[in-house]
Structure 1
Amino acid sequence: MEKIENTNNNVQISPWLTTIAVMSAAFMFVLDGTIANVALPQMAGSFSSSNDEATWILTSYLIASGIVVPSVDWFSKFFGRKQFFIACILIFTGASLLCGMSTSLDMMIVSRVIQGVGGGALLPVAQAILLEAFPVEKRALAMSIFGFGVVVAPVIGPILGGWLTDNWSWNWIFFINIPFGILAAVTSKLWIFDPPYAQKQADAKIDYVGFFFLIVWLVTFQVFLDKGNNADWFGSEWICWTFGISMIAMVLFIYSQIVQKDSIIDLSVFKDRSFVLGTTILVIANMVLYASTTIMPLFLQNLMGYNAFWSGYSLMPRGFGSVLAIFIYSITNKLFDFRLFTAIGIIGLGVSGLMFGFLNLEFSMINIIIPNFIFGFSVGMTITVLTTASMETISNAKMTNASGVQNLVKNLGAAIGTSLVATMVSRYSQAFQHNMVGFLDPNNPVYAERLASMTSFFCQFDVYAVAFQKAQGMLYNQLLQQSTLCAYMETFRVWGIVTFVCLPLLLLYKNKSKA
């Protein structure tokens, strides 16, 4: 077993021990990204708030973590990467305890902001540490392990969250983080070290201007995405202003990072062709992953009557597919061109989306299991391969910065995908309802026959006028159900087609024989 040397005390540490430390933290963070979704209605009821108000439980977390993600390289230089990583674990764990103890919506939102501040840095720092812990020729193996945690945790999240919510209470979806946090903090203290370029730097300065523009950009952009659908997007004046401020702040942030000597992020990573191409495809894959993870539980709960646990349980085949993909890649990555693995993943994503797009209300469980398995396999293959390929030409000294930048744009892709999928279902549902309502015409013989039959049935219990009204209401409810089903199916098909756009990007990679 290879070992890496701790330059602080000349102790050699196995990279596998380092893997345990960083993956404990990464798994905890990624798990928390989806575990709260299924419990949102219960939390809203507990705090006597509306579902719209309760969405700030999710939004506040995303905003806070989004601000920290691109700043990880600067924070690592200012505090030392190991100390910063451990501090983030402790902040995240402590905030999880506060979230579970929250007695009001305000307390929950404040706790989630603190949790986001602590959790935002865990994933990019863990990725950078893991890549550096292994030699270049074994980075594919390292990213296979990393991909396992990053891909499987979001699948386990809804299942575990649904079970805890149904059998215990929503509070436990946050308390579950505490043992993971303690394990991650202890093992990180023992088994992680800072190479010279990741140690605390005395000359590290705070980029106040860049940090201000970063906060304004990400906060306003997240509010735009979160509230845009309900406010009719650009039909709302305040949404237009919010979007405009966000874009101006983004431009000023990028400009400040170019001209500032001590900037928060180093944009020179975008000169690396492999990094840009890999990150672009990862952003699209993240959009599809989070869009699908958002829409599937809603489809099963709203149309099929599944509870929180069973809607999360239906996603379990994705976990098995991801594990299989990561296992296959870890043992065959040296035999084939990485573009072949990526192409298989992209095609699988598209095919699974199209398979979801042809479901109906009378499907069997196998109709959900097969496309979910293909989806999980494809996501696991795509993310694992491209995370390795995109960082292949990045030096160790720039790894933390590159990881932070990559995770920033991936998070933006996830936020955009989540927002777009909600809008698509809403708008498609309205369009299909408008097209289908014309069939509820007394001159339509099929409708007239069904209305008469149902009216006759209800007449056994009520007078004719009431029975006729009930029959009309039931038929209209069926129309709403059918229009919503069509909206979900159309959305699945669109996202399936979107993934195929990534295939031509693979041709832009320089010719390399192996991953």
Structure 2
Amino acid sequence: MSTEANINLQEEWKPSKNPWLITAALMLAVFIFAIDGTIANVALPHMAGSFSSSHDESTWVLTSYLIASGIVIPMVDWFSKVFGRKNFLLISIILFTVASMLCGMANSLFQMVLFRILQGVGGGGIIPIAQAVLLESFPKEKRPAAMSVFSLGVLLAPIIGPVVGGWITDNWTWPWIFYINIPFGIAAIIACHEILEDPPYASKQENVKTDGLGFLFLSTWLITLQIVLDKGNNADWFNSTWVCWTFTVSVIAGILFFISQLTNKDSLIDLKVFRDKNFLNGTIILVIINLILYAALAILPQFLQTMLGYTAFLSGFSMMPRGLGCLVSVLICAAISDYVDNRILVAVGLIFIGLGGLVFGFLNLQISTINILFPNFLYGLGMGFAMIPLITLSNNTLTNAQLTNASGVQNMLKNIGGAVGTSFVATAISRFSQVHQHYLVDNLVETNSVYITKLQALASALTQYAHPTVASYMAQNTLYNQMVQQATLLAYMDAFRIFGILALVVIPLLFFIDGNVPLKKAQKTNNKH
């Protein structure tokens, strides 16, 4: 069969079930995977206490999950050929559900990280497969509306996660944030088994070759990169010999991975999809958006709990306006995406994300609840406006047969962006805090009349409860702690401002993406691939 005839066959294939029924089944699976990316955020302080670990160490619970799924995602196309796409999806959901149960039973940080890795391996294939199945189930002119509905699960789940996780942690215990996945996982297995089907080009294939070397390079690259990002700050970064060597190994492994994918005809991923400028530039922007949003989701609950004294539930509840903003923007996108250049929608979304970060840049310790909720609402608006049209734009000029591979590549890079953002922001806050302490401590000197006046007044008040000498030490310690608190606050403000600026800086990349691609033009473009 000729290449053109094969492409036409791919484009003409239609599922026997209603596409919206397929969407519902896929959303069940996607939702439990996506919500687990953030449901543990607000429970980290409780986990750290249970495992007698520091907050920095407990962030491995988040990043190990992202990196494990990031390693599996590029192999989705290969696994789909070996097992058949539907079978691989079912295997992924089963593994994810079992790993969720094991996470709830973990008795140490080592066990938790190990089971989270297993959970990430199980969940890694869910979103790429779901995205590919959804896109091929609908004609191109209906894909924006379908992606809008589907993306509600993808985008709302990480926002609902902290709320659900906070409520469960406060009212039950943190293991239940994992046990809650079990009934939903079983429901997803049944729904996908009964509703989904494989098209001829996504069914099980014989004699599929394995790119073992590519997998080795990929695993080495991502694991060593994550070790450097997570442990580098505590080791003083490149002043540490082991950090230098680990980073060198990561760089070499990353280079070798991409070389192997370009030269091996049986590679894990097909990098030819990056020849499509829509896919290339769209993926770059999506990675940056994921970096920003995952980093913000990681530090905001931490700020609210440690600096403002919020409970786990309240810190999670403060994320709810993101869900409302996302819902509003998704509905708007679904209504107008066929009539408006989607690049405009993406630009509007990036502006909202940027504004959300810049508004959070004015945090203070007396901030009102409304000033926490409003920028979160802006973030939500930005997510819906930016991500949904961007996913559609970056995939609409690809053939159906390319979608599974392209979705895997795109989601792998998005996961890496999220993991890098989570690790980077933890390091950034630590470093920024040290810098601000260096400057602020210069004010705690005897030559500063304001400091001396405050110190004397505080010491005088404390003499009612302690000896004057002890009261003086207590006053100095109190003011020093306030200085450290202010330095940490300034560090959070700096981090949010950086994310706000970053969202605005990537807007010019939209000029390198074609706008709405009419159906006939898209089909013509597909025939060229």
SS at match of 1:35: coil
Match of 1:464 in 2: 468
The 2-side partners of 1:55 and 1:351 are apart by 27
| Aligned with residue 287 of structure 2, among 267, 283, 286 | 283
Match of 1:508 in 2: 512
The 1-side partners of 2:449 and 2:131 are apart by 63
Deviation at 1:260, TM superposition (A): 1.2
Match of 2:498 in 1: 494
TM-superposition CA deviations, 1:324-366 (whole Å, max 9, x none): 0000000111111101101100111111111111121112111
Instruction: Rate the CA distance shift 1:485–1:110 in 2: closer, same or farther, 3 A.
Output: closer
Deviation at 1:250, TM superposition (A): 1.1
| Aligned with residue 356 of structure 1, among 347, 356, 360 | 360
TM-superposition CA deviations, 1:67-95 (whole Å, max 9, x none): 11111001001110000000110111111
Match of 2:524 in 1: none
Is residue 238 of structure 1 aligned with residue 248 of structure 2? Answer: no
| Aligned with residue 307 of structure 2, among 303, 307, 318 | 303
The 2-side partners of 1:326 and 1:272 are apart by 26
Is residue 312 of structure 1 aligned with residue 316 of structure 2? Answer: yes
SS at match of 1:206: coil
Deviation at 1:146, TM superposition (A): 2.2
| Aligned with residue 403 of structure 2, among 399, 402, 406 | 399
Is residue 67 of structure 1 aligned with residue 75 of structure 2? Answer: no
Deviation at 1:127, TM superposition (A): 0.8
Match of 1:25 in 2: 29
Equivalent runs, 1:105-504 vs 2, <5 Å: 105-504=109-508
The 2-side partners of 1:286 and 1:110 are apart by 24
Instruction: Rate the CA distance shift 1:454–1:353 in 2: closer, same or farther, 3 A.
Output: same
TM-score (norm 2): 0.93
Instruction: Rate the CA distance shift 1:482–1:400 in 2: closer, same or farther, 3 A.
Output: same
Instruction: Rate the CA distance shift 1:47–1:360 in 2: closer, same or farther, 3 A.
Output: closer
The 1-side partners of 2:365 and 2:59 are apart by 28
Answer whether contact 2:15 2:137 (CA < 8 A) is retained.
Answer: no
The 1-side partners of 2:211 and 2:34 are apart by 29
The 1-side partners of 2:517 and 2:111 are apart by 54
Deviation at 1:109, TM superposition (A): 3.1
Taking only aligned residues, the RMSD between alpha carbons, in angstroms, comes to 1.8
Instruction: Rate the CA distance shift 1:17–1:452 in 2: closer, same or farther, 3 A.
Output: same
SS at match of 2:233: coil
The 2-side partners of 1:46 and 1:62 are apart by 22
Paired letter, 2:510: L
Instruction: Rate the CA distance shift 1:328–1:116 in 2: closer, same or farther, 3 A.
Output: same
The 1-side partners of 2:41 and 2:416 are apart by 18
TM-superposition CA deviations, 1:366-415 (whole Å, max 9, x none): 11111110111101211111011100101100100000000011111111
Is residue 81 of structure 1 aligned with residue 85 of structure 2? Answer: yes
**Unaligned residue ranges in structure 2 (runs of 5+):** 1-8, 520-529
Paired letter, 1:260: N
TM-superposition CA deviations, 1:255-297 (whole Å, max 9, x none): 1111112111111001001000111111111111011111211
Paired letter, 1:496: G
The 1-side partners of 2:36 and 2:516 are apart by 37
**Mean CA deviation greater in 41-50 or 474-483:** 41-50
Deviation at 1:504, TM superposition (A): 0.8
Paired letter, 1:157: G
Match of 2:526 in 1: none
SS at match of 2:265: coil
The 2-side partners of 1:58 and 1:448 are apart by 44
Deviation at 1:514, TM superposition (A): 7.6
Answer whether contact 2:72 2:124 (CA < 8 A) is retained.
Answer: yes
Answer whether contact 1:78 1:205 (CA < 8 A) is retained.
Answer: no
Answer whether contact 1:336 1:514 (CA < 8 A) is retained.
Answer: no
Is residue 43 of structure 1 aligned with residue 47 of structure 2? Answer: yes
SS at match of 1:34: coil
Paired letter, 1:174: F
The 2-side partners of 1:87 and 1:118 are apart by 8
The 2-side partners of 1:396 and 1:74 are apart by 16
Aligned-residue sequence identity (percent) comes to 55
Answer whether contact 1:64 1:117 (CA < 8 A) is retained.
Answer: yes
Paired letter, 1:127: Q
Instruction: Rate the CA distance shift 1:491–1:105 in 2: closer, same or farther, 3 A.
Output: closer
**Mean CA deviation greater in 318-327 or 504-513:** 504-513
The 1-side partners of 2:79 and 2:139 are apart by 25
Instruction: Rate the CA distance shift 1:434–1:110 in 2: closer, same or farther, 3 A.
Output: closer
Aligned residues: 508
Deviation at 1:44, TM superposition (A): 3.2
SS at match of 1:13: coil
Answer whether contact 2:104 2:178 (CA < 8 A) is retained.
Answer: yes
Answer whether contact 1:77 1:200 (CA < 8 A) is retained.
Answer: yes
**Unaligned residue ranges in structure 1 (runs of 5+):** none
Paired letter, 2:220: V
The 2-side partners of 1:280 and 1:53 are apart by 29
Match of 2:6 in 1: none
The 2-side partners of 1:429 and 1:299 are apart by 13
Deviation at 1:303, TM superposition (A): 1.0
Match of 2:5 in 1: none
Deviation at 1:54, TM superposition (A): 3.6
Instruction: Rate the CA distance shift 1:514–1:297 in 2: closer, same or farther, 3 A.
Output: farther
Answer whether contact 2:342 2:515 (CA < 8 A) is retained.
Answer: no
Instruction: Rate the CA distance shift 1:240–1:377 in 2: closer, same or farther, 3 A.
Output: same
Instruction: Rate the CA distance shift 1:190–1:127 in 2: closer, same or farther, 3 A.
Output: same
Match of 1:102 in 2: 106
